[in-house]
């Protein structure tokens, strides 16, 4: 492993946080263990858990940065920093993501395409927004000129998930910095390395120290961030129960702004007139990405009865074929990696075993090997109504396929969940596509696609799948507060 932010191996980060422009030894001496999901071995048992003193130090540095030189950066200066960051990431991202894959299990084969495109696109997209933070002007027809400007919130925090830690870091940092905020990032305790390696690159790109900081730790660290009285915004991506705790802590402390991107149980609805090859490509890929450990994974497939036999035969064959690409995530020929750790393995295999009593198993269903956290891609048919496998998020490569007859029936089935993040409609009928997409309870609906996000358009969930939106102009508004200035013209 080459040098990454001064680091040569994961153990460089033992007992460290990145605070005020340097790696510092944790004040809190509690530690946790990070595992390698491909073999179950310990990567480190000395990862720091940031305590109150560590978070206070990061907040103090963030406050100094926010009120210091950073506050005087013009939009063009912020854009120049972001564009330089994009150039640095072009050079160093492969090393950072390879390091990160040691604990995430994400195949390195994803780096050159999916990961790189998402990350570089996000940085450049928000670099273009830095000098376009326009407000509003209302004339003085009542004797007062009304001006509205959008101002940064100040010190913000990001609590990120284990499945795409580096990409999520950027998705939150880019709009936060484009609007002039400062950000403290806490990656998942399962996958801390890429984020800790990424943090120093912001100073290399020209951002002042303290603008971006990264602390290591688990739920206790996230709770300190969520309840800190000087942090004005927290953006969280993860599970619904943790999101609920963060919202409560934010409300009980200082009513800090909250963005929550939570779980999903995304339906893909395939009508009889759909292009079947296209539907198969999207639904299979949407199950297998990051081994099903994505909130937008298409895990409920509803297929019209008239084409069900044909679709299911091909879908199951493709899923079984994908099992042959399951392997070592550091091998560039591997397409499917392990689940993130042994706890995820126990949860997913437990759900699979229980589902065997409620649905017909037609693909997978087994752990692969006796080392690591590998699970075969798995498909169940026609589960019982109300069963766990149709209602609960698995967060693994497990889908259910159910048949339907009418449009009204499938809309009811698709919406019969507390989740509402992503959905897909597959049809050649444009009026049906518009009609059904309007009736599906989801923050994002794909037509002839699913489990896809675009940086220009808002992303987020309805119902228990979240609050607020990321991406596009909507993310900028989540990191700013409107201020109204009233000018009395008769004074």
pLDDT digits (tens, 9 = 90+) for 315-359: 999 999 999 999 999 999 999 999 999 999 999 999 999 999 999
pLDDT one-digit tens code per residue, 269-284? 999 999 999 999 999 9
Instruction: Tell me which residue has tokens 């200082």.
Output: 254
Helix (H, G, I), strand (E, B) or coil at 274: coil
pLDDT > 80? residue 410? yes
User: pLDDT tier at 4 (50, 70, 90 boundaries)?
Assistant: very low
103-127 average pLDDT score = 91
Q: At what angle do helices 219-227 and 240-253 cross, to 10 degrees?
A: 30
13-29 average pLDDT score = 97
234-248 average pLDDT score = 96
pLDDT one-digit tens code per residue, 432-481? 999 999 999 999 999 999 999 999 999 999 999 999 999 999 999 999 99
Res 74: pLDDT:
97
Least Cα distance to 214 among 199, 233, 201 occurs for: 199
193-207 average pLDDT score = 97
pLDDT > 60? residue 488? yes
CA distance 428 to 431: 9
CA distance 322 to 310: 19
User: pLDDT tier at 116 (50, 70, 90 boundaries)?
Assistant: confident
391 Cβ neighbours under 8 A, 6+ residues apart? 265, 417
From 115, 189, 203, 261, active-site residue: 261
- Tokens representing 236 are 């969280």
15 Cβ neighbours under 8 A, 6+ residues apart? 25, 26, 31, 46, 47, 48
Least Cα distance to 168 among 203, 204, 195, 208 occurs for: 195
- Tokens representing 270 are 């395939």
CA torsion sign for 14, 17, 21, 24 is negative
Helix (H, G, I), strand (E, B) or coil at 31: strand
By the 10 Å C-beta count (0-12 exposed, 13-18 middle, 19+ buried), 68 is classed as middle
Domains of the chain, each with CATH number or no CATH: 10-262+465-483 (3.40.605.10), 266-454 (3.40.309.10)
41 among known catalytic residues = no
Helix (H, G, I), strand (E, B) or coil at 153: coil
241-259 average pLDDT score = 97
Res 112: pLDDT:
81
User: pLDDT tier at 205 (50, 70, 90 boundaries)?
Assistant: very high
How high does pLDDT run on average in the chain? 95
Res 7: pLDDT:
54
219-228 average pLDDT score = 98
Quick check: 4 and 92 in contact, CB under 8 A?
yes
- Tokens representing 37 are 């999901």
Quick check: 339 and 105 in contact, CB under 8 A?
yes
Least Cα distance to 172 among 159, 162, 163 occurs for: 159
């Amino acid at each position: 492993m080459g040098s990454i932010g001064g680091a040569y191996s994961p153990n460089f980060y033992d007992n460290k946080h990145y605070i005020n422009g340097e790696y510092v030894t944790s004040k809190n001496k509690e530690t946790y263990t990070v595992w390698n999901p491909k073999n179950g071995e310990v990567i480190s048992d000395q990862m720091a858990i940031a305590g109150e003193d560590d978070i206070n130090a990061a907040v103090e540095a963030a406050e100094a940065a926010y009120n210091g030189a950073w506050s005087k950066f013009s939009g063009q200066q912020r854009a120049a920093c972001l564009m330089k960051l994009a150039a640095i990431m072009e050079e160093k991202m492969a090393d950072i993501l390879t390091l990160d894959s040691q604990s995430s299990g994400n195949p390195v084969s994803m780096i050159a395409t999916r990961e790189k495109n998402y990350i570089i696109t996000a940085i450049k997209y928000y670099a273009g927004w830095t000098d376009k933070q326009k407000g509003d002007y209302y004339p003085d027809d009542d004797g007062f000129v009304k001006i509205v400007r959008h101002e940064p919130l100040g010190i913000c925090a990001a609590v990120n998930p284990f499945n795409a830690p580096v990409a999520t870091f950027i998705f939150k940092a880019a709009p936060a910095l484009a609007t002039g905020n400062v950000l403290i990032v806490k990656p998942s305790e399962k996958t801390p390395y890429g984020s800790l390696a990424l943090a120093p690159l912001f100073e290399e790109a020209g951002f002042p120290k303290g603008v971006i900081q990264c602390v290591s730790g688990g739920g206790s660290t996230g709770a300190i961030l969520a309840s800190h009285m000087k942090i004005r915004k927290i953006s969280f991506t993860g599970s619904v129960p943790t999101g609920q705790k963060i919202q409560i802590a934010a409300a009980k402390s200082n009513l800090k702004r909250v963005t929550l991107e939570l779980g999903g149980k995304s339906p893909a609805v395939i009508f009889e007139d759909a292009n079947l090859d296209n539907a198969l490509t999207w639904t299979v890929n949407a199950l297998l990405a990051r081994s099903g450990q994505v909130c937008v994974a298409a895990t409920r497939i509803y297929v019209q009865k008239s084409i069900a036999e044909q679709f299911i035969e091909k879908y199951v064959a493709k899923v079984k074929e994908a099992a042959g690409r399951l392997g070592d995530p550091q091998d560039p020929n591997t397409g499917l990696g392990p689940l993130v750790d042994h706890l995820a393995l126990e949860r997913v295999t437990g759900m699979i075993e229980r589902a065997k009593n409620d649905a017909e198993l037609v693909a997978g269903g087994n752990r692969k090997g006796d080392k690591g956290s590998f699970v075969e891609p798995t498909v169940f048919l026609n589960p019982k109504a109300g069963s766990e496998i149709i209602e609960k998020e698995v967060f693994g490569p497990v889908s259910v396929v159910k048949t339907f007859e009418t449009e009204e029936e499938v809309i009811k089935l698709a919406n019969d969940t507390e989740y509402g993040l992503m959905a897909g409609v597959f049809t050649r009928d444009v009026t049906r596509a518009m009609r059904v997409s309007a009736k599906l309870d989801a923050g994002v609906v794909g037509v002839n696609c699913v489990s896809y996000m675009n940086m220009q358009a808002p992303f987020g969930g309805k119902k228990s799948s979240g609050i607020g939106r990321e991406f596009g102009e909507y993310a900028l508004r989540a990191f700013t507060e409107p201020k109204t200035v009233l000018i009395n013209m008769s004074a």
